[in-house]
Structure 1
Amino acid sequence: MRSRIVAAVAAILLAIVGVVLLTGYVVGADQRAMAGMKTTSVLVVTEPVAADTPAEDLAELVEPKVLPAKAVAPGALTSLEDVAGKVATADLVAGEQLLADRFAAPEKKDKDDVVVPKDMQEISIMLESQRVVGSTITAGETVGVFTTYHDSKKTHQTLHQALVTRIENGVAASDAKPDAKPDAEEGAEQGPAVPEGNVVVTLALSAPDAETLVWSQEIGSIWLSREPEGTPRDGTRTVTEEGLFR
């Protein structure tokens, strides 16, 4: 009985030793194989990536991996800097190599293709071109809204950095007056055509700001200024006849 137990233990030990030796041999073979060929470190996707994801957002979704040079796909990336400013053109799956041809520059949106922020509503007003910075404002810019209440003769900037989502109906003077006379001095350089007529401006506003805009249009008059993000808001005041000429 004792001899059978000893034999069984010996067999188990021999099996364990065999597994260890075999594993060591396989690992050693892989190392010897890798040592005999050229290797390259490339970026490999570790988590699924959705199409249109900017390359700058992939730092936590990819990692470098050393592969035999023969296994590296053409165009495989070694750094995200090579696709900086671009976006993924298709969904990427975990395990695949990051390829340069899977990225492209983001599509430019049409000038009127502006996303309206959540909880805001669009509202349009019609203004003369000189009240819209000579009709030079474009969709996507932000504007200041100045209201003049004629009955009390007061002017104040009532809204700041309102998002423009659409501009329509600006008419250039060269189109409106094809028979306009040339400059008196022949050969004089002509400046850019000045738009004239009315311009419809659509803004994305919160409900309270939309109320302010409607009141300003119905009761008074409006001017818009180009007011980029970061423009200081301090220093404004209500302008009155008494305060202006005192």
Structure 2
Amino acid sequence: MIRRIVVALIALLVAAVGGVLTFLYAQGADERAMAELAPQQVLVVAEPIPAGTPSESIARSLTIVEIPAAAVVPGGVTDLADVEGLLTSADLHVGEQLLTSRFLAPEAVNEAVEVPADMHQLSLQLETRRVIGGELRPGDTVGVFLSGTVTSGTSVESESMDLTHLILHKVLVTAVKGAAGVVTNEDGDEVEQGAADSIMVTLALSPADAEQVVFGMEFGNIWLSLEGPDVPEEGTRTVSPTEAFQ
């Protein structure tokens, strides 16, 4: 009886020791595997960062993540001091690693579209389909079309007519936000990025032209066309339903 108890105790002891050794081995294997992956700390975007943001202002929008070395994208930023004085060259999205290729010197980001001193700069938020599908760049010139409903007559007898007219020619584009373009993904590869659902376009306008455009945005609809320097300006007309179906 005593002999059977002793044998049982020894078996339990061996099982316990074996379990501990197995646990230690497994833990050590995890540590060895992680060591072989050479984990590194990287900066990852935690909140969206707009293009043109100074590097000194993005720390609160970043988080530090430890990942295997094999997953680290070449050119990753590990210290914001490495991009001091630079601006983000594109919108940075949540989850992407912070890359040096996403930064440019201020003079490069704001590459000069020289605006005459007597011009207003006016920004319009337009649906992408109204902005050449988002294929627009600073420095381009555009035609501005205005469509609206004109009512004439008295309060007793009035008549409404839908009209469209190319009101402005070769207007200088000074800035575009949300357009289609080439961006660098989290793997460091350049990929095509489609245009946003709406585009913010900034135009350089004379005071009188700015008034027309603001009126069009408030009470009608604006369309932009890409209008190069050789596009003729004559031959336009105000189009009503009558002219549209001639």
**Could you state the TM-score of these two structures normalised by the residue count of structure 1?**
0.45
The structure with the larger Rg is 1
Q: Which structure has greater strand proportion?
A: 2
